[in-house]
Chains A and B, each alone.
Chain A
């Protein structure tokens, strides 16, 4: 592996931005956002430079490492502060800094009226730095620092407007649910150290070749728990919808394009573990399949544009996790969908922000309509993202999603049929709910509240949307041309093992396109060609009612964890007071009533005890004298 001395700059630049902006305080209000944007862009520049360095080398020599210093070293537990840039992490580096910089630019305008814009940019830079550390760390423990670092940034940004109690609660919920996932990561690291004796990626990879399936399965399952927490996968998905409390650029960057995809990174990075642990791998596909369906169903019932997009994110990451669980045949497609999704979903979130910007922060799509005329650029860029996500050829999502559906079918046997059908069904539902979003927002008749004057967003906002829209159109083609991305990633994931074809590729594509057409058609009939209520109708099917309540995810968490937890807390508080301390008080009282005079004057009592120490010392010496005679 080639050593490099410039990897640390990737992280150091945005980190410096965060520190400067937070320490400078109000003084930085005038220039803080510009500095933060410039630093994020410089980090992107370093990323491009690294890419050129990689391209100049043979595929096997493209990985760079940098050891900064010895971080923790006790006995055989040795962890360096070390960075690793390979074909996998460079994909993330460019996505994080590229999309990140675009979102910085967008936010300059979007947040321009917020008195705390400087703090917002500080958090954004902090996020970029932590996310880069997550994908550049060369061991599970280094990854852990970035992993919780992005959790912290996410917490701060979800709660950016935490003066609203509901937003403060949402940020806390996200942090706590993420911590449950983090616990999984802790366990994985502990098992790795106890059984393999190392926690670095290279060390674990080497040890995994001879390790027992039991140990690898344990590590794999715990990594899956971690991934579920961070990537809002079943059963740790409930925080993502609430996370939409954060400003919309945050939803685009953190809760769509980058942080929530960290789970996919973790699983694909650990490919050597899952390849040798079939049970863990099976659980990965199950979690992916459940979540892609779950998110899609929730997405059909949401009237809040951001929550509909959040449900969609959950579902799309479900596709990625599903692909990652399919082994060497799926890893590269998981990353491809992650990258294309990064473009089209971030673009749509920024589009949603643009719509909110023009509609007095209204998020209820039942109060939108006909915005196509008033916001043509937003309509066009959002529309391109829409075509990409539902998988219309030749837009980006078609390539990446089609590859996943195909690979799922090719998994073979009943498993293949079940997974493939789920992915197909998900595609149909995706087409339905995304068409619904499109129609309700842009093409159906207007249902605005009074005093709405929708207008197109300023240049600084639509420019990033336009760039992302270009990505939504082109990236799928670019990545698949000559199997470029698949080959690029081969040094990391190993030979791209193709399964036997279950159905000819053209048939699968045909089925996928049919599914999309069905989904779009139903949505058009229901929303474009029928009247839409400005208020959410009450007399809906039982299914809609359940979907509106996120398939009871919160009720489930409340009854299984929260309420028992509260009961347990009250129980402990009571026990501590009445039983534990009660016993102590009882003993104390008994002792005191033996000498009731002392009880009256507590200070006098204590002074006597001070004297008692002296007496004690005398007794000690006397005792020693006696026993030594």
Chain B
């Protein structure tokens, strides 16, 4: 059976398994959910090893007619870009389940429903990256909102209902615009060689579009993705959603679902509308740079640890978007690697912040103090995650962030220079909460907080390992990413700027 379809099917089977376990056997439910996600992770790793990096076409392809009368297929396949993101998603899933062992408690519904939602979401996370049929992509893109909506609204904290609605409204708004563009594409495909939703065929269509058509259709996709990513000024749903959701949901939201936005920019915006992409590049680079600086300032000003992490992500997504639209191999590969690395560094931050908040009963930074001496392992975990977030050389994020910066500099030096100021702001937005929460005297309410237990240590250890190992040895990922990035740029007709200096002296 097709590797991708198997990976998508496994969580569905897990959901069915959960359905037959009685609701009161909570431990069994958790174990079944964990086993399922582990199984998916293993099959993801196997798929990774079976992938041929040198081949830039889609691999593990499967196509089954779904709605033949409209040319809609269940069609999946991966290239280096989507494979990296799928690997990230399936590795994060078991970590999220194990780290958030008690997250389902205190929800509106049972633990059973919680894990069923998580598993359904996992299927969709794989599918959204694997889909090679634009309609299939759209359906999953929209359908993903449902489990996330219920995960936030049903199991979150604070004003969870309002946050869930805000998330949904934003996403639906973007989704509708994308829908309009998809219809447009479909119509144009009909006039030029037959109706189809196949991404490979649609990528030829831009030759038949007027610039205006291409620009409008591009915007439909781009706005949807800019909301997902999220790009300034379409970001305000994220802090609300991330701070209201359970930590595990937030990890999936920031780490995986938001990546659909930046993934979509490469897969759809660039591939389908190369000319429009060039037209809008200056605007998009500008928005990306604003996101980097703006998100960083908001993170510095944040008083809630979860909101702070959400704002840092806005800054990081600015880097990713900038790298994509810089149209250089370094920027592109850097951006893709950034997506992967950001998944783990944000996961680490959010998971540990979640543990801190659960122990303290508050996520206000000022409520913590002196944790380094009370809960050293938890404090160290937060610190290393923070160092990864500020892109300390030697940790994974540095490689991707520097590639994005250097790749942008060769084409858009001003944007790169402004973005580089973000690294000073990053030092502030990480070290300020580190100082307030971990250093200083142990403040009342923190004296007796328990340190990480064995389960929590097991959950965070692989994340830390990935962050450190990939900092020194990113080649396994870059070897898969590079051909895919080079291919995208080649199709776009871009070559890297050559060094300015020759023998001019």
Q: What is A's interface to B at a CB cutoff of 8 Å?
A: 22, 25, 69-77, 81, 141, 144-145, 147-149, 152, 159, 162-165, 168-169, 172, 175-176, 179-180, 182-183, 186-187, 189-191, 193-197, 207, 210-213, 215, 568-570, 572-573, 576, 580-581, 584, 588, 602-603, 605-606, 609-610, 612-613, 616-617, 620-621, 623-624, 627-628
The reply to whether B298 and A186 contact each other, CB–CB distance below 8 Å, is: no
Q: Known contacts A73-B478, A210-B504, A580-B236: does B441 contact A189 (CB below 8 Å)?
A: no
The reply to whether A606 and B164 contact each other, CB–CB distance below 8 Å, is: yes
A114 to chain B, nearest CB (A): 13
Interface of A is mostly: helix
The reply to whether A179 and B423 contact each other, CB–CB distance below 8 Å, is: yes
Asked if B312 CB lies within 8 Å of chain A CBs, one says: no
What CA separation (Å) do A25 and B427 show in the bound complex? Answer: 27
Partner of B301, one of A70, A212, A215, A570: A570
The reply to whether B165 and A75 contact each other, CB–CB distance below 8 Å, is: no
The reply to whether B153 and A606 contact each other, CB–CB distance below 8 Å, is: yes
What CA separation (Å) do A605 and B153 show in the bound complex? Answer: 12
- Give the number of chain B interface residues (Cβ < 8 Å): 96
The reply to whether B440 and A163 contact each other, CB–CB distance below 8 Å, is: yes
Q: List 17 A-B contacts (CB under 8 A).
A: A71-B475, A74-B329, A74-B407, A141-B402, A147-B393, A195-B500, A211-B501, A211-B505, A215-B500, A580-B232, A584-B236, A588-B169, A609-B169, A616-B175, A620-B182, A624-B183, A627-B183
Chain A minimum-CB-distance residue to B434: A172
Which one of A182, A197, A621, A623 has the highest number of Cβ atoms from chain B below 10 Å of its Cβ?
A: A197
Q: Known contacts A168-B439, A610-B149: does B298 contact A572 (CB below 8 Å)?
A: yes
Chain B minimum-CB-distance residue to A161: B439
Interface of B is mostly: helix
Could you say which of B33-41, B88-96, B139-147, B248-256 contacts chain A? Answer: B139-147
B359 to chain A, nearest CB (A): 20
What CA separation (Å) do A169 and B175 show in the bound complex? Answer: 46
Residues of B near A624 (CB, < 8 A) are 70, 183, 186
What CA separation (Å) do A48 and B255 show in the bound complex? Answer: 48
The reply to whether B410 and A194 contact each other, CB–CB distance below 8 Å, is: yes
The reply to whether A190 and B497 contact each other, CB–CB distance below 8 Å, is: no
Which one of B139, B170, B387, B431 has the highest number of Cβ atoms from chain A below 10 Å of its Cβ?
A: B431
The reply to whether B298 and A576 contact each other, CB–CB distance below 8 Å, is: yes
Asked if B354 CB lies within 8 Å of chain A CBs, one says: no
Asked if B320 CB lies within 8 Å of chain A CBs, one says: no
A517 to chain B, nearest CB (A): 45
B residues 293-322 touching A (CB-CB < 8 Å): 294, 297-298, 300-302
Asked if B283 CB lies within 8 Å of chain A CBs, one says: no
Asked if B372 CB lies within 8 Å of chain A CBs, one says: yes
Asked if B209 CB lies within 8 Å of chain A CBs, one says: no
The reply to whether B392 and A148 contact each other, CB–CB distance below 8 Å, is: yes
Partner of B402, one of A168, A169, A186: A186
Partner of A186, one of B232, B302, B420, B439: B420
Other A-B contacts than A168-B439, A193-B406, A193-B499, 5 sampled, CB-CB below 8 A, are A197-B501, A211-B505, A569-B300, A572-B297, A576-B236
Q: Known contacts A609-B168, A616-B179: does B505 contact A212 (CB below 8 Å)?
A: yes
The reply to whether A212 and B504 contact each other, CB–CB distance below 8 Å, is: yes
Asked if B450 CB lies within 8 Å of chain A CBs, one says: no
The reply to whether A77 and B440 contact each other, CB–CB distance below 8 Å, is: no
Q: Known contacts A74-B403, A624-B186: does B168 contact A190 (CB below 8 Å)?
A: no
The reply to whether A193 and B409 contact each other, CB–CB distance below 8 Å, is: yes
What CA separation (Å) do A623 and B176 show in the bound complex? Answer: 13
The reply to whether B435 and A70 contact each other, CB–CB distance below 8 Å, is: no
B residues 398-419 touching A (CB-CB < 8 Å): 398-399, 402-403, 405-407, 409-410, 413, 416-417
A79 to chain B, nearest CB (A): 10
Chain B minimum-CB-distance residue to A627: B187
Asked if B73 CB lies within 8 Å of chain A CBs, one says: no
What CA separation (Å) do A568 and B421 show in the bound complex? Answer: 14
Q: Known contacts A149-B393, A183-B423: does B301 contact A197 (CB below 8 Å)?
A: no
B residues 450-505 touching A (CB-CB < 8 Å): 472-475, 478, 482, 485-486, 496-505
What CA separation (Å) do A617 and B237 show in the bound complex? Answer: 24
What CA separation (Å) do A193 and B416 show in the bound complex? Answer: 13
The reply to whether A213 and B505 contact each other, CB–CB distance below 8 Å, is: yes
Residues of B near A77 (CB, < 8 A) are 329-330, 403, 406-407
The reply to whether A620 and B183 contact each other, CB–CB distance below 8 Å, is: yes
The reply to whether B501 and A210 contact each other, CB–CB distance below 8 Å, is: yes
What CA separation (Å) do A144 and B501 show in the bound complex? Answer: 23
Residues of B near A617 (CB, < 8 A) are 139, 142
Q: Known contacts A165-B440, A176-B424: does B475 contact A74 (CB below 8 Å)?
A: no
Asked if B287 CB lies within 8 Å of chain A CBs, one says: no
